[in-house]
């Protein structure tokens, strides 16, 4: 079995267990275990199977057992855990690069238990000395920092790779997190390793450990903890009810006042993360080409090559440079807005800077950026102390780059020319001052800004790891999941309320995720939030999903609050999509009574009459539209068509002449004009315009023929004979083939 087959089988067995198909699960599990010939796993399975056969036997015989449900749940829980162990053994048997690293690290468990204890005890003895050194502004010896850094890097892998934490592991982690010698960065890193471990393998202890850290208000980086906890709960939602201890701690956690805001920040940031690829493509294909196209003009106009490094004033004329490129200006404004809102605008840029050896270590993708990091200090040893100190502290304070990208920036700076470094530092200072001013103002209004920034940066760090880490194919990418938390039992039970669902649904709606938006709006309606806005947005979402019957139903419910032209028009449009032009006409007519001079409504009414074959009535409405929409060439199109169908060729001539003089003539206009010419006895000229239609870029003989066939009945009504039609089509095909 390859990796893909192993995971498919694993998920199938879990689905059998969730759906109470225990025998199917046992059979599939036995098959997987037999491929490994593991006696321990096989013995465990046989014990479970024996227990289940007794449960079945008692049930069939009608024996009353008050503990049957409890026994059944424990049995399913045991099978789920056995399935985990079997999957891990099968994956390990692939002998990948990941496996060899895992085997090496896990063999050092005793070393880690002793080393963490040793460091902690050594720290407590040397507290007075440390305080003295700090008071004298003397840093700890470099070799001591490097040694601890190396230990933490390996501990990161140990916690990640350990499938189920032991009592000794728990004691080690408690000792580490309670000790002041380990920095916030060290503890943050271990939180990330707990998260990765949980995403690889279910471990109730790891999950509970994260939940306890959330409840413990003394731990600083609770945003990282919460993100890891939510990912784990999302992935294992189907099995949480087998662990009462987890549900109990979630009940306690749900009472925490931060949870609602944390849930909102995290889920919205995850939606943005899921859109990263789409945004990166837009940046690469739309925004950057425009910037590059206008770069020479900007370079010359601003004399960028001669700007002194100390000249930091922003040019008030910059906006005027782009007067001839208003679309680019809008794109740049949108880019700035999205960046401020936490959209990942740098993924495409920094993806190219993740090939340094630094990023071959998984831990470095999650290490919070801090200037004292020994690996970065070493890289920048050749830089001047002033530059190094200033640059690193400026970078640390930046809120618009995630930690991973900050490290990329540092590693890349060594390749920059000296003059470029100085200019970059000046620009960086100016930009940071501007950002800090914005953040200070925002933080006065929004007390949760700090948490939003941490969530943004951490989710971006996670996203980069799962998308760019060299060994990313060795584990599951959590961002490939729907991340539809609103559908998960744990979220509904412990973290969801109307306020969160409203913000979540509106964000889905505004970002164009209409499928998710519609589902959440339905949930809100089910929970009693029956407002006009909710019904309108749900209806609009369904309309975008082409679920027109559902959209009509929601629009009609919104109409009960207040009848508006917008709602009536939307219902009518949905009716058109379902082919019910009669119903659409009724709604458009009602909208017309509210806004008699609305051009769009007039147009739709005319279109409805035309589709209902009430051509004369449609023509009258098109005439009305012509009067209201003076000089609109597009109105000529349906007028000429109606006149042609009705056989009013003299009236049609004037309109066809106006249409042919316009710059908006398309393949259908040319074909329709050909019809009119033929019906008025001008067959040669008709053939010329048919050929012009065929030769349009988005046309061809086959496409032309489909449209022509649809119009044959009108030609026949205007006394064109069937034989003549056949001859005309042969002539056109001959001409088209000759031209090819």
Q: Regarding predicted confidence, which is higher, 319 or 82?
A: 82
Q: Check residue 698 and give its pLDDT.
A: 85
The residue ranges of every structural domain in the chain are 3-94, 99-125+139-274, 278-478, 656-740
User: Environment class of residue 244 by beta-carbon count within 10 Å: exposed (0-12), middle (13-18) or buried (19+)?
Assistant: exposed
% of the chain exceeding 70 in pLDDT? 86
User: pLDDT tens digits, residue range 1-45?
Assistant: 888 999 999 999 999 999 999 999 999 999 999 987 788 999 999
Of the ranges 56-60, 314-318, 630-634, the best mean pLDDT one: 56-60
Residues comprising the chain, all counted: 740
**Is the predicted pLDDT of residue 301 greater than 60, yes or no?**
no
- Identify the CA nearest to 461 among candidates 362, 537, 572: 362
pLDDT tens digits along 493-533: 999 899 999 999 999 999 999 999 999 999 999 999 999 99
pLDDT for position 530: 93
Instruction: For residue range 38-60, list pLDDT tens digits in order.
Output: 889 999 999 999 999 999 999 99
pLDDT of residue 322: 43
Mean pLDDT of the region 544-565: 97
Q: What is the pLDDT of residue 332?
A: 53
Q: Which of 185, 138, 190 is nearest to 165 (CA)?
A: 190
Closest CA to 350 of 400, 303, 393, 417: 400
Q: If you average pLDDT over residues 708-734, what whole number do you get?
A: 93
374 CB-near residues (< 8 Å, 6+ apart): 142, 145, 146, 149
pTM for this one?
0.84
Mean pLDDT score of the chain: 86
The first and second tokens of residue 314, run together, are: 């922003």
Residue 294's pLDDT band (boundaries 50, 70, 90)?
A: very low
E strand intervals along 251-297: none
Percent of the chain with pLDDT over 90: 63
DSSP string, 254-310: HT-TTHHHHHHHHHHHHHHHHTHHHHHHHIIIIIHHHHHHHHHHHHHHHTGGG--TT
Residue ranges of alpha helices (H) inside 629-721 are: 636-645, 649-661, 667-679, 683-694, 701-717
Query: 385: which 2 tokens?
Result: 């102390």
Locate 292 and state its tokens.
Answer: 């590059």
**Is it the case that residue 224 has pLDDT exceeding 70?**
yes
The DSSP annotation for 719-732 comes to: T--HHHHHHHHHHH
Mean predicted confidence (pLDDT) in 624-645: 85
């Amino acid at each position: 079995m390859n990796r893909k087959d192993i995971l498919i089988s694993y998920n199938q067995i879990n689905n059998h267990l969730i759906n109470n198909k225990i025998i199917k699960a046992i059979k599939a599990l036995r098959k997987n275990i037999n491929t490994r010939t593991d006696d321990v796993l096989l013995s465990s399975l046989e014990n479970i199977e024996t227990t289940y056969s007794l449960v079945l036997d008692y049930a069939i015989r009608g024996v009353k057992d008050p503990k049957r449900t409890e026994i059944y749940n424990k049995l399913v829980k045991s099978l789920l855990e056995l399935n985990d162990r079997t999957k891990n053994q099968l994956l390990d048997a692939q002998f990948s690069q990941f496996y060899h690293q895992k085997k090496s690290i896990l063999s050092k468990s005793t070393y880690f238990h002793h080393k963490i204890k040793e460091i902690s005890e050594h720290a407590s003895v040397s507290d007075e000395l440390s305080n003295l050194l700090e008071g004298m502004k003397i840093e700890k010896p470099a070799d001591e920092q490097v040694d601890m850094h190396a230990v933490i890097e390996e501990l990161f892998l140990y916690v990640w790779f350990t499938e189920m934490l032991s009592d000794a592991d728990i004691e080690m982690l408690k000792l580490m997190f309670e000790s002041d010698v380990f920095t916030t960065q060290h503890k943050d890193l271990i939180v990330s390793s707990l998260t990765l471990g949980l995403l690889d393998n279910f471990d109730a202890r790891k999950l509970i450990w994260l939940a306890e850290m959330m409840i413990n208000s003394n731990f600083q980086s609770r945003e990282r903890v919460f993100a890891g906890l939510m990912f784990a709960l999302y992935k294992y939602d189907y099995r949480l009810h087998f662990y009462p201890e987890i549900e109990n701690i979630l009940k306690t956690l749900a009472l925490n006042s931060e949870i609602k805001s944390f849930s909102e920040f995290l889920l919205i940031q995850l939606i943005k993360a899921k859109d990263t690829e789409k945004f990166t493509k837009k940046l690469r294909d739309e925004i950057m080409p425009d910037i590059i196209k206008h770069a020479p003009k900007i370079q010359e106009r601003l004399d960028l090559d001669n700007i002194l490094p100390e000249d930091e004033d922003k040019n008030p004329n910059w906006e005027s440079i782009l007067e001839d490129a208003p679309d680019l200006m809008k794109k740049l404004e949108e880019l700035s807005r999205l960046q401020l809102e936490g959209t990942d605008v740098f993924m495409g840029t920094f993806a190219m800077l993740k090939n340094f050896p630094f990023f071959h270590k998984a831990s470095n993708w999650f290490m919070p950026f801090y200037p004292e990091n020994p690996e970065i200090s070493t890289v920048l040893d050749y830089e001047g102390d002033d530059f190094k100190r200033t640059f690193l502290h400026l970078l640390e304070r930046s809120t618009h780059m995630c930690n991973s990208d900050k490290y990329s920036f540092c590693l890349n700076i060594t390749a920059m020319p000296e003059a470029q470094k100085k200019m970059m530092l000046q620009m960086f200072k100016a930009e940071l001052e501007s950002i800090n001013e914005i953040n200070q103002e925002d933080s006065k209004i929004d007390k949760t800004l700090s948490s939003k920034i941490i969530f943004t940066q951490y989710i971006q760090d996670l996203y980069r790891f799962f998308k760019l880490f060299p060994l990313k194919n060795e584990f599951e990418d959590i961002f490939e999941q729907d991340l539809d938390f609103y559908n998960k039992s744990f979220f509904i039970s412990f973290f969801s309320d109307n306020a969160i669902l409203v913000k979540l649904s509106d964000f889905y709606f505004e970002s164009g995720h209409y499928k998710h938006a519609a589902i959440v709006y339905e949930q809100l309606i089910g929970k009693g939030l029956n407002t006009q806005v909710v019904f309108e947005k749900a209806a609009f979402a369904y309309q975008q999903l082409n679920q027109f019957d559902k959209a009509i139903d929601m629009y009609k419910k919104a109409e009960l609050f207040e009848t508006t032209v917008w709602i009536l028009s939307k219902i009518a449009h949905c009716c058109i999509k379902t082919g019910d032009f009669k119903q659409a006409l009724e709604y458009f007519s009602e909208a017309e009574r509210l806004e008699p001079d609305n051009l769009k409504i007039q147009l739709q009414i005319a279109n409805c009459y035309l589709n209902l074959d009430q051509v004369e009535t449609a023509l009258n409405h098109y005439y009305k539209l012509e009067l209201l929409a003076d000089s609109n060439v597009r109105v000529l199109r349906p007028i000429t068509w109606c006149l042609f169908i009705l056989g009013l060729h003299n009236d049609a001539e004037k309109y066809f002449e106006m249409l042919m003089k316009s710059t908006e003539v398309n393949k259908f206009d040319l074909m329709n004009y050909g019809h009119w010419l033929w019906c008025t006895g001008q067959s040669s000229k008709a053939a010329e315009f048919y050929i012009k239609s065929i030769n349009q870029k988005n046309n061809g003989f086959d496409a032309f023929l489909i449209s022509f066939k649809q119009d044959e009945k009108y030609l026949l009504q205007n006394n064109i004979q069937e034989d003549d039609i056949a001859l005309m089509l042969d002539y056109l095909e001959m001409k088209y083939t000759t031209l090819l």
